[in-house]
A and B are shown apart, each in its own frame.
Chain A
Amino acid sequence: MASVLELKNITMQFGGVVAVDDLNMVVNEGEIVALIGPNGAGKTTAFNVITGVYEPTNGEISFCGKPVVRNHPQGKMKAGYKGSCAEYYTGKPVISPTPDQLTGLGMARTFQNIRLWKTQTVFNNVLTAMHSKSSANMFSAIFRLNAEEEKRQRERTAEILEYVGLSDVANELSTSLPYGKQRRLEIARALALEPKLLLLDEPAAGMNPQETAELTAFIEKLRTDLHKTVLLIEHHMDLVMDISDRIYVLDFGKTIAEGTPSEIQANKRVIDAYLGVAEE
């Protein structure tokens, strides 16, 4: 199995706070991998580093075998660096892409606090996401020389909405949808980019058990039908244990465990992290 995403020694330090320390993680093709941990463990920070919102303080990220992000402590951070493995990447060239460049490589994400384009319809939310895929320049767009491509994109949008089950609300305003459907629309929008890797940030947050079960089946379907690789952050343990191939557990920025769902369920450190350690 080839790796789609590989994180090596990723450290993210904000001022004096190390939010993620020495995170090593591999997501292989076709896998569903979950990143879990108590609140404030650094999961979303890790996500933001992977998608280019933050530049890591140290470490390297590879996508499909090629390094796409790399950094080592520099400037002011050099003296104040509190993470590990500082020397691994000094001397190697820094790679610091913007989020859209990383997206262009073939990853797409959703957001924990839903970030749909609020004034746009459901249909346009998906269609707009295809902008980066379109080959039209401004002139061909103004003079409609890209009509063929535009038509294809519209058809594809309709297909995606059909697939995720939002066809009936295609012309509604995105914000008028109920919460669960908004989350689904975020996934649809990510699918419009035809990514190899889908990054889902708490896709089931705020959902009831019924909706969570539906979502679990839906993510499973993404893998079997569309052959997507998925990395997700989630607090609903039913969902995580049901569909994950492997799980990484973070606590206070450090990886405390990794393994299959059954291994994680039996791991003492994980249980301690979630339930707290009894005084001895």
Chain B
Amino acid sequence: MKILLPYILSGVSVGGQYALIAIGYTMVYGILRLINFAHGDVFMVAGLVMVYLAASTPLYIAIPATILITVALGFTIERVAYKPLRTAPRMSVMISAIGVSYLIQNLTLYITGGLNKNYPEIPWISDKITIFGTTTTRVTLITPFLTVALCLILVWIINHTKIGMAMRAVSKDFETSQLMGIRINSVISATFVIGSFLAAVGSVLFFTNYPGIVPTSGSMPGLKAFVAAVFGGIGSIPGAVIGAFIIGICESLIKGLDTILVTQGVMASPFGFATFSDAFTFVLLIVILVFKPTGLFGEKQTDKV
């Protein structure tokens, strides 16, 4: 157990960060039936904005400003790249999302010159602490609690406010909600704003643990968060959070599996499991899609003949 603890701790932490991104995917998919491929890149941009802001302003300005800019970015992407395609086939919107992702990556590549940007040290949360004899950073402990708290607030918003009710209606039936007088565009914008807000928070937590950011830093966490959303049942917020925690923990354990097995004397030499820490997520994805396409908490949909 002692040897597993650090991996589980970091897994829970990474899982929490994925969860914050996954909520953005699952909400957008629930409403627009769109895999927002650019969401991972929004997450990466949030990290970069933080790098630039923290260089010139104190953190108590930099962090809120980062969140604000990220939210504005998410809002703009929706208005510019998805709104004009509201009546287009779903494939076109998905292609547009891929195009946005390509544009953001190239733009950041140009601005940063492709160099690794060092993430600023955030005093209190990057501190080292020791629990149960394991040394870790404070952010590792904060993340899961913050994630669950934000998630609960979000669920409350969706179940108890007017905009939340509108969101639920739109995700049930797009056309009918429109006919019932719901302002579709503001609902969709609200979804993107919430998604980007959570991605920005997630990015602050995520990149604190990593040495730096490159333009492609967002795509892998983005894809994994999407897998988490599918795993939990796309459209379901608790599902996305649970899926993200499961993926985070599994990934962290696989990364450490070689060390664990070798030090326990199960294997003589490392097997190379760590190569598969990313691939594992996708194996999980294919397995869940094949055996339970609706995920853990998803709703079934049928075609009418």
Asked if A175 is an interface residue, CB under 8 A from chain B, the answer is: no
Query: Within A31-74, which residues are at the interface with B (CB < 8 Å)?
Result: 44, 48, 53
Query: Is B179 in contact with chain A by the CB < 8 A criterion?
Result: no
B303 nearest in chain A by CB position: A53
* Contact residues in A for B305 (Cβ distance below 8 Å): 44, 48, 53, 111
Q: How near does chain B come to A45, taking the closest CB pair, in angstroms?
A: 9
Minimal beta-carbon separation of B93 from chain A (angstroms): 20
In the complex, what residue of chain A is closest to B302 when comparing beta carbons?
A14
Interface size on A, residues (CB 8 A): 4
Quick one: closest B residue to A45, CB to CB?
B305
A111 to B304, CA, bound (A): 12
Chain B residues within 8 Å of A48, by CB: 305
Closest Cβ–Cβ distance, residue B220 to chain A (whole Å): 37
The tally of residues in B whose CB lies under 8 Å from a CB in A reads 1
Question: In A110-164, which residues have CB < 8 Å from any B CB?
Answer: 111
Enumerate chain B residues within 8 angstroms of A53, measured Cβ to Cβ.
305
Minimal Cβ-Cβ distance residue in B for A51? B305
Bound Cα distance from A53 to B305, whole angstroms: 8
- Could you mark each residue 287-305 of chain B with 1 if its beta carbon is under 8 Å from any beta carbon of chain A, else 0? 0000000000000000001
Q: Is the interface of B mostly helix, strand, loop or mixed?
A: loop
Chain B 264-305 near chain A by CB (<8 Å), digits 1 or 0: 000000000000000000000000000000000000000001
Bound-state Cα–Cα, A48 to B305, Å: 8
Which residues of chain A (225-250) have a CB below 8 Å from chain B? none
Q: How far is the CA of A238 from the CA of B305 in the complex (A)?
A: 26
CB distance from A17 to the nearest CB of B (A): 13
- Within the assembled complex, what's the spacing in Å between the Cα atoms of A111 and B305? 8
* Shortest Cβ distance from residue A53 to the other chain B in the assembled complex, whole angstroms: 5
With both chains docked as a complex, state the minimum distance between the C-beta of B271 and any C-beta of chain A, in angstroms: 40
The CA of A198 and the CA of B121, in the complex, are separated in Å by 74
Tell me, rounded to whole Å, the shortest Cβ–Cβ distance linking A144 to chain B.
Answer: 32
CA distance A210 to B260 in the complex (A): 81
- Report how far A90 CA is from B36 CA in the complex, Å: 48
A48–B302 Cα distance when bound, in Å, is 14
CB distance from A18 to the nearest CB of B (A): 18
Within 8 A of A (CB), among B88-137: none
Residues of B within 8 A of A44 (CB): 305
B88: shortest Cβ distance to chain A, in Å? Answer: 16
Question: Shortest distance in angstroms between B304's beta carbon and chain A's nearest beta carbon?
Answer: 8
Q: How far is the CA of A273 from the CA of B305 in the complex (A)?
A: 25
Complexed CA–CA distance, A253 and B305 (Å): 18
Chain B residues closer than 8 Å to A111, beta-carbon distance = 305
Cα A53 to Cα B302 in complex, Å, equals 12
Bound complex: CA A53 to CA B304 (Å):
10
What 0/1 readout, one digit per residue, does chain A (61-102) give for beta carbons within 8 Å of chain B? Answer: 000000000000000000000000000000000000000000
User: Shortest distance in angstroms between B89's beta carbon and chain A's nearest beta carbon?
Assistant: 12
Q: Smallest CB-CB separation from B304: which chain A residue?
A: A113
| Minimum Cβ distance to chain B for residue A94 (Å) | 21
How far is it, in angstroms, between the C-alpha of A44 and the C-alpha of B304 when the chains are bound?
Answer: 11
Instruction: Name B172-217 residues within 8 Å CB distance of A.
Output: none
**For the complex, what is the distance from the CA of A44 to the CA of B305, rounded to whole Å?**
9
A112 to B305, CA, bound (A): 9
Instruction: Name the distance in Å between B90's Cβ and chain A's nearest Cβ.
Output: 16
Nearest chain B CB to A149's CB is how many angstroms away?
A: 31
Write the chain B residue with the least CB distance to A44: B305
Scan residues 139-175 of chain B and give those whose CB is less than 8 A from a CB of chain A.
none
Q: How far is the CA of A182 from the CA of B236 in the complex (A)?
A: 41
Which of B25-44 touch A at CB < 8 Å?
A: none
Give Cα A180–Cα B61 distance, bound, in whole angstroms: 68
Query: Shortest distance in angstroms between A70's beta carbon and chain B's nearest beta carbon?
Result: 21
Q: Tell me the complex Cα distance, A53–B303, Å.
A: 11
B53 nearest CB across to chain A (Å): 50
Q: Which B residue's beta carbon lies closest to that of A48?
A: B305
- Nearest CB of A to B300, in Å: 11
What CA separation (Å) do A178 and B305 show in the bound complex? 22
- For A99, the closest partner residue in chain B by CB is B305
Complex CA gap A48/B304 in Å reads: 11
Q: In the assembled complex, how far is the CB of residue B92 from the closest CB belonging to chain A, in whole angstroms?
A: 15
Instruction: State which residues 1-32 of A face B: CB under 8 Å.
Output: none
Bound together, the chains give a CA A88 to CA B279 distance in angstroms of: 50
A90 to B305, CA, bound (A): 29
- Expressed in whole angstroms, the minimum distance between the Cβ of A46 and any Cβ of chain B is 12
Residue of B nearest to A111 (CB): B305
Which 4 residue pairs spanning A and B have beta carbons closest together?
A: A53-B305, A48-B305, A111-B305, A44-B305
A-B contact pairs, 4 of them (CB 8 A): A44-B305, A48-B305, A53-B305, A111-B305
